[in-house]
Amino acid sequence: MRSIFLGFKHLVSFFLILLINISLLSCITMLFVSCGSKKDKAYTEKIIIVTTLFPLYDFARHIGQDRVEVILLLPPGVEPHGFEPKPGDIAKIKKSRLFIYTGDVMEPWVRTILKSIDKEGPFILVASEGIKMAPDEAGHGHRENLDPHIWLDFTNATIMLDNILNGMVTVDGQNKGYYTENWRRYREKLEGLDKRFKEELTPCKKRVFIHSGHAAYGYLAKRYNLTYISGYGGAPDGEPTPKTLITLKNLLKQHGLKTIFYEEFLTPRVASIISEETGAEILKLHPCGNITKDEMDRGITFLELMEENLKNLKKGLQCG
């Protein structure tokens, strides 16, 4: 009898151990499923990012890719200097996790909006942090008399890209590795295009380019040792005086130039007048602050716009 009792006892112990093991296995399985669900949730819930200008929009979407939803406040085709946010734009900013703007010089209207955003609002990122702005020699009338078109110098664009990465990691640290890898690849492309600008513009016969729009290309000209002459200072929709038109025509002749550049979003009326009177070819330079609806629909990138600028500069500067 005692042996039968011991056998029964061992059998009960065996089943108890089996049940415990099954329970532990179930818990472990549920734990992994739970962790997997949280991980999937982190990947599928996109971070909402609101940006003011196209370069910021493009940099953010390349770093974040499928982990983020990037919104550009500027409607397609709107000149950035004249933009005024609507109530709906302000609502978008308040609902975002990250709000990126260039700085007070380029977007002075942001200061007013930030006063209405509480501590529960988005993380605010100033993309120009760490960049030394050049004096606004053309007289745009910007804050502190500084030139805000910093992204047209690739060294500045790289700093902006770095700042955006830091902002995205701040609000979504669990995807740091993913963002950093995308940032690294895009940064290499920026640096590569900067190298091409240097190499391909260095042997050009001409070192001067004349632009009929507002003075936006000072950073680009300085970066590549060029001389840049603008049709007028002041607001982008300003009008050059007859004296300025005469001066531009004389400068074309003086420097032996066969090209005058015009600006995206502005009717090339001035360039057309000068072209008719001098026979100069008209070519576009894109300031990249915003894009057209067609460009937005095509998914054009900052790098592609700058590639086109390089192509036209090489032609205008007679680079062979």
For residue range 143-202, list pLDDT tens digits in order.
678 999 999 999 999 999 999 999 999 999 999 999 999 999 999 999 999 999 999 999
Residue 98 has pLDDT above 60, yes or no: yes
pLDDT of 186-212, one tens digit each?
A: 999 999 999 999 999 999 999 999 998
DSSP state of 32: H
Plot region of 99 (φ>0 → left; ψ -120 to 50 → alpha; else → beta): beta
Q: Of the candidates 178, 186, 136, 179, which has an alpha carbon nearest to the alpha carbon of residue 157?
A: 186
Predicted confidence band of residue 41 (pLDDT cuts 50, 70, 90) = very low
| Interatomic CA distance for residues 101 and 52, integer angstroms | 5
Is 3.40.50.1980 the CATH classification of the domain at 47-198?
A: yes
| Interatomic CA distance for residues 270 and 256, integer angstroms | 19
Output the pLDDT for position 109: 94
Which residues face 125 on adjacent strands?
100
Strand order across the beta sheet in which 98-101 lies: 68-72, 47-51, 98-101, 123-126
Answer for the pair 280, 257: CB distance below 8 angstroms, yes or no.
yes
Quick one: average pLDDT of 37-63?
81
pTM, two decimals, is: 0.84
Domain(s) labelled CATH 3.40.50.1980 in the chain stretch across: 47-198, 204-316
DSSP state of 131: -
pLDDT of 266-282, one tens digit each?
A: 667 888 889 999 999 99
Residue 254 has pLDDT above 90, yes or no: yes
Mean pLDDT of the chain: 86
Output the pLDDT for position 214: 79
Quick one: average pLDDT of 101-119?
93
**If residue 120 lies in a helix (H) or strand (E), which one and from where to where?**
none
Residues 6 or more apart whose CB falls under 8 angstroms from that of 106 comprise 52, 53, 80, 128, 142, 148
Angle 54-64/154-171 helices, nearest 10 degrees? Answer: 50
CATH number of 204-316: 3.40.50.1980
Output the pLDDT for position 120: 86
